[in-house]
């Protein structure tokens, strides 16, 4: 992995989708009326200006258009947002600029338009390679359409990734192994593999409560996870984070900004940020409802509803929680710097004795392969 230099990321949230998937609790909305993109573009520009006034003089190393479905945005809107970013901050010449795309909203001309606007990486939500499963997941595309979209991404961008969801109802390790191998044959340098999570207030949650969604039991889930790790590592895409796999050096630099507890601005409805102002770290969040966010930005200049200075305790917990998701783990000296104290040596020794963590000669602490399936417990123990 690259050396860990300072980074500044910009996240831009597009809150609309063509339809709402029954498992998803992201801030995404379906609208019958066409979206006024010019109005959104002006609001994004205003919020970028307001944020840059608080944290000026930054060099942007990564930009991420997430959603929702940012591939529903016109390339001209993407170009306008990137122009605004470049007017208020410096964009590093090698900046990673990612756009999340849904395979049902992909066409080659649009992708070329995004590339011309400055996007240099796409991440596609493929989710599954089985049409029956895709329909159960409420997806609007078939497996063929998803793979065609991956093909278009490959022909237009040097860097692309796609997402799959596993540990789905009735899924067995053998089926998943076959599906994953097909996916890996289509993959480039990066793949995100998420275990299905049943999120409160989603239709899947209600189905699950009603006993109508039979999820894999604990042993099957563990076997699915182990299968994922083995097959991806054998294919040269080891996990660099709990759910993310990449060829070494091809990690998503934007997501590394979050996990390494670096600085980022959150722009758009329901976006979160971490800004370093006057030696303090601010946790920011904007209004989630798209239309309310728009009017808030239009009247006040930004959509902020939360702007809190994190305490030392909160910062160090966050550093631990995010950093231990990474295979590279955390730098113990940086932890001591953030927390103002060392991690408890007795707890480290005990987790070490159980084979759940290890420390490196370079002074890093990381979770071992057997430790990852019980990551939450490891973090809770260290943070206690
Ligand atoms: C914000 S979505 C962006 C992609 C795009 N909107 C799409 O669906 O194609 C990011 C990814 O989160 C994953 N995801 C969303 N809800 C999930 C859930 N409940 N469990 C597991 N993964 C989930 C999906 O793989 C999805 O592609
Ligand atoms: S999974 Fe993607 S397309 Fe589906 S509702 Fe969530 S953000 Fe929208």
Give the 3-state secondary structure of residue 312. helix
pLDDT mean across residues, the chain: 96
Q: Which two tokens stand for residue 351?
A: 């987790």
Cβ atoms 23, 202 nearer than 8 A: yes
Whether the pLDDT of residue 58 is over 60: the answer is yes
User: Out of 97-106, 308-317, 345-354, which region has the weakest mean confidence (pLDDT)?
Assistant: 97-106
List, as one string, the DSSP characters of 179-233.
HHHHHHHH--SEEEEEEP---TTSHHHHHHHTT------HHHHHHHHHHHHHHHH
For the stretch 174-221, pLDDT in tens is 999 999 999 999 999 999 999 999 999 999 999 999 999 999 999 999
Cβ atoms 2, 249 nearer than 8 A: yes
Give the 3-state secondary structure of residue 78. helix
Instruction: Report whether residue 205 contacts ligand 1, using a CB cutoff of 6 Å.
Output: no
Peptide bond before 336: cis, by omega within 30 degrees of 0? no
Ordered alpha helix ranges (H), 12-141: 37-54, 75-88, 108-117, 131-136
SS3 content of the chain, % helix, strand, coil (to 5): 45, 25, 35
The backbone torsions φ and ψ at residue 302, rounded to the nearest 5 degrees and listed phi first, read: -150, 165
Nearest CA to ligand 1 atom 1: 67
Chain centroid to CA 105: how far?
A: 20
For the stretch 80-121, pLDDT in tens is 999 999 999 999 999 999 999 999 877 778 999 999 999 999
Instruction: Report whether residue 23 contacts ligand 1, using a CB cutoff of 6 Å.
Output: yes
Instruction: Report whether residue 19 contacts ligand 1, using a CB cutoff of 6 Å.
Output: no
Nearest CA to ligand 2 atom 6: 24
């Amino acid at each position: 992995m690259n050396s860990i230099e300072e980074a500044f990321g910009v996240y831009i949230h597009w809150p609309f989708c063509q339809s709402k998937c029954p498992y998803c609790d992201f801030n995404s909305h379906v609208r019958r009326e066409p979206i006024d993109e010019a109005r959104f573009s002006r609001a994004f520009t205003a919020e970028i200006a307001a944020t840059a006034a608080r944290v000026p003089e930054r060099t942007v190393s990564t930009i991420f258009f997430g959603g929702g479905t940012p591939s529903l945005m016109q390339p001209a809107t993407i170009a306008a947002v990137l122009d605004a970013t470049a007017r208020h901050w410096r964009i590093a010449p090698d900046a990673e600029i990612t756009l999340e795309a849904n395979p049902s909203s992909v066409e080659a001309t649009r992708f070329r338009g995004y590339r011309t606007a400055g996007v240099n990486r796409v991440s596609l939500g493929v989710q599954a390679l089985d049409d029956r499963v895709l329909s159960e997941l409420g997806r609007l595309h078939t497996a063929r359409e998803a793979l065609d979209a991956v093909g278009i991404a490959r022909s237009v961008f040097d860097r692309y990734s796609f997402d799959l969801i596993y540990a789905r109802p009735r899924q067995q390790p053998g089926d998943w192994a076959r599906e994953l191998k097909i996916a890996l044959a289509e993959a480039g340098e990066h793949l995100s593999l998420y275990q299905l999570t049943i999120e409160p207030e989603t239709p899947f949650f209600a189905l699950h409560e009603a006993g109508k969604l039979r999820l894999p039991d604990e042993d099957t889930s563990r076997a699915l996870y182990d299968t994922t790790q083995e097959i991806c590592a054998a294919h040269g895409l080891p996990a660099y984070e709990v759910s993310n796999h990449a060829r070494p050096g091809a990690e998503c630099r934007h997501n590394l900004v979050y996990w390494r507890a670096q600085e980022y601005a959150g722009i758009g409805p329901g976006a979160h940020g971490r800004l370093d102002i006057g030696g303090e770290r601010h946790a920011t969040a904007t209004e989630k409802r798209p239309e309310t966010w728009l009017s808030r930005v239009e009247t006040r200049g930004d959509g902020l509803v939360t702007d809190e200075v994190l305490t030392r305790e909160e910062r160090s917990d966050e550093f631990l929680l995010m950093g231990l998701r990474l295979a590279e783990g955390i730098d113990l000296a940086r932890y001591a710097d953030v927390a103002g104290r060392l991690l408890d040596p007795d707890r480290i020794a005990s987790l070490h004795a159980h084979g759940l963590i290890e420390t490196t000669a370079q002074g890093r602490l990381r979770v071992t392969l057997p430790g990852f399936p019980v990551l939450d417990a490891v973090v809770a123990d260290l943070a206690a």
